[in-house]
């Protein structure tokens, strides 16, 4: 089942699941890379937010196809 991400703050686990990771800890390298590139930021403990409009939709599509 495909997990859709909305705009705004998301839990780190929801983002990892949408990208196809079984364990959110396995997504830490991808998350760090996106933070370093300025695409997302840590919005609180266990929360991420996107800096690019519609980036959540892109990540959902990329995770489903990758």
Q: What SS3 state is found at 13?
A: helix
Is residue 37 predicted with pLDDT exceeding 90?
Answer: yes
Q: Which two tokens stand for residue 12?
A: 């780190």
Is residue 20 predicted with pLDDT exceeding 90?
Answer: no
Structure pTM?
A: 0.71
Helix or strand run (H / E) with residue 60: helix 55-65
Spatial separation of the C-alpha atoms in residues 54 and 46, rounded to whole Å:
21
Is residue 13 predicted with pLDDT exceeding 50?
Answer: yes
Q: How confident is the model at residue 2 (pLDDT cuts 50, 70, 90)?
A: very low
Q: Which residue would you say has higher pLDDT here, 30 or 19?
A: 30
**Alpha helices (H) in the chain, listed in sequence order:** 12-18, 28-36, 55-65
Q: Which two tokens stand for residue 48?
A: 């991420």
Q: Which residue would you say has higher pLDDT here, 5 or 47?
A: 47
Q: Which two tokens stand for residue 1?
A: 């089942």
């Amino acid at each position: 089942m495909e997990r859709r991400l909305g705009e705004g703050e998301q839990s780190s686990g929801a983002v990892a699941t949408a990208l196809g990771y079984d364990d959110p800890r396995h997504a830490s390298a991808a998350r760090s890379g996106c933070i370093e590139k300025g695409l997302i930021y840590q919005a609180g403990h266990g929360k991420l937010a996107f800096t690019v409009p519609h980036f959540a939709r892109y990540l959902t599509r990329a995770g489903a196809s990758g």
